[in-house]
Structure 1
């Protein structure tokens, strides 16, 4: 049970939906009941919380301030509940994680499955975002931690390197280049390429490679989604420069081959754990961080 009033639930839903009608549908209550709660609060506070417009409901400055406070109170209460659980041992707990799409299958899923099997009271929320958004929501304490790719962790207080992540050529298992231990990029120029486009993080390095080697336009398919690139490779449409973690699970299950590029031509990325500076994690989050960190480091040793 959460110690928040009916008003706070109504208020947050209207703020999110921007409409009394849509909030009423989401909460399964009447719009008039929601409006009555809002009007009573505004009367007590002496300030309007919403502008009532023909197009819907828009927060006033006071409403924005109240919304931020309610969100903070909910987070604080959630952490208090986690500390209560810790006093009784790790019987319950919630962990929120943000990951890049490249990690949506494989090691993270396997580790979480093991954790919920060992600790049935643990719950998880997992959000898939790009690198920049992960950093933003970690720093805003919307999630406990994030897993992402970065070019360097050397000067970042909130980034912990977990494993190197080389760039390489992903290709079908039977491809003529698949037997190589390492490749020079020039040796791939005779084949059709599926080019990772912006906003994928690896795009700038890849774009520089193609600029230097002047890949003919007729030899390229551009795509900004790693899942689609992997599917195109499996269907025989071409080969692609991707990071190791983009195809790690495909390689493990013998669906694709991956040959690293020379590090002189393509600097490796780092798979990194991102945490908010000075944030104290719950016992459940600490456990998840420890297990995931150990899993990746064990896999690469």
Structure 2
């Protein structure tokens, strides 16, 4: 239908029409265009015939758009904006010099980004500004779906056709403890029941990690008491490094304690805790601006050795 409309609407007459709106009168538009007012008036008349309705009505000594005229003006402005965006994107493809990127990620990805893709990108493109926000699984999904962020990195997003997964790889949930903790001495994959005698820390319920843990609790008929519930992966690591107990989480990049103690990651027996995956996502159907597309490619290149899923797969609804 839009193609048919484009065929019917003459670009020159639409330019005259928009000038009339800007000037507030046919005579004012004619002066700007360097034309005879009668020629502008005839062009507007032909345009109204093409549209099949009146586009302007007199108001005092000038003219204002009718409802149909407002619709046409909105259409013309949108076409102009899209054209400008296209030209800007074509120009930026040649040289990524300006622009802005919004990234939203789980806290566990921040250190990785700053040591890999994002660090290299910022060094190579000083004119590009980046906003890196940290959020839960639910928050990352919301920012991507509502197009407030270009790129998202998260653990186990929900099945949603509005999300496009560019990459995923397995990320098991483990029990993190100091190497001196009694759980580290068992020498076998752990059941949830093994954790019951000890204090634990985990993430809030809007994190995919916690949702996997709760599903495992149901399957094993165990309810783990939690001393610390947090939105911070860093807090989980500090809980463990302080010798307070265990944390159920994906691997955490936590350095050794001053006394030389190390944190170890113990495998879990329940297969549900091994089914989680890390995803790099964007809004399905959204065309990313050149700078964001370039950074996304760099992230995928850094992940490629462990890539499993095909690039560009929509996450189907559950």
> TM-score, normalized by length of structure 1?
0.61
Q: Which residue of 224, 246, 249 maps to 1:242?
A: 249
C-alpha distance after superposition, 1:270-293 (max 9, x if no partner): 111121122222222121111112
Query: What is the distance in 2 between the residues matched to 1:90 and 1:196?
Result: 38
Counterpart in 2 of 1:194? Answer: 201
Cα shift at 1:201:
2.7
Counterpart in 1 of 2:212? Answer: 205
Counterpart in 1 of 2:134? Answer: 128
Query: What is the distance in 1 between the residues matched to 2:224 and 2:296?
Result: 45
Query: What is the distance in 1 between the residues matched to 2:141 and 2:216?
Result: 27
Retained in 1: the 8 A contact 2:191–2:270?
Answer: no
- Hey, which bits of structure 1, 4+ residues long, moved more than 6 A? 73-80, 152-156, 251-254
Counterpart in 2 of 1:84? Answer: 91
Query: What is the distance in 1 between the residues matched to 2:181 and 2:147?
Result: 45
Q: Which residue of 281, 290, 299 maps to 1:274?
A: 281
Counterpart in 1 of 2:240? Answer: 233
* 1:119 corresponds to 2:103: no
Retained in 2: the 8 A contact 1:90–1:119?
Answer: yes
SS at match of 1:198: coil
**Closer/same/farther in 2, CA of residues 82 and 176 from structure 1, 3 Å limit:** farther
> TM-score, normalized by length of structure 2?
0.58
SS at match of 2:132: strand
Counterpart in 1 of 2:14? Answer: none
C-alpha distance after superposition, 1:235-286 (max 9, x if no partner): 1110021123xx1x22799852212213525242111112112222222212
Query: What is the distance in 1 between the residues matched to 2:195 and 2:97?
Result: 53
Uncovered stretches (5+) of structure 2, i.e. residues with no partner: 1-79, 309-318
SS at match of 2:271: coil
Counterpart in 1 of 2:112? Answer: 106
Counterpart in 2 of 1:148? Answer: 154
Counterpart in 1 of 2:99? Answer: 93
Counterpart in 2 of 1:262? Answer: 269
Uncovered stretches (5+) of structure 1, i.e. residues with no partner: 1-72
Cα shift at 1:118:
2.6
| Rg comparison, structure with higher value | 2
SS at match of 2:254: helix
Query: What is the distance in 2 between the residues matched to 1:147 and 1:75?
Result: 29
C-alpha distance after superposition, 1:19-64 (max 9, x if no partner): xxxxxxxxxxxxxxxxxxxxxxxxxxxxxxxxxxxxxxxxxxxxxx
**Closer/same/farther in 2, CA of residues 263 and 183 from structure 1, 3 Å limit:** same
Retained in 2: the 8 A contact 1:200–1:224?
Answer: no
Q: What CA RMSD, in Å, does the superposition of the two structures yield over aligned residues?
A: 3.8
Cα shift at 1:297:
3.3
Retained in 2: the 8 A contact 1:251–1:257?
Answer: no
**Closer/same/farther in 2, CA of residues 233 and 75 from structure 1, 3 Å limit:** farther
**Closer/same/farther in 2, CA of residues 165 and 77 from structure 1, 3 Å limit:** farther
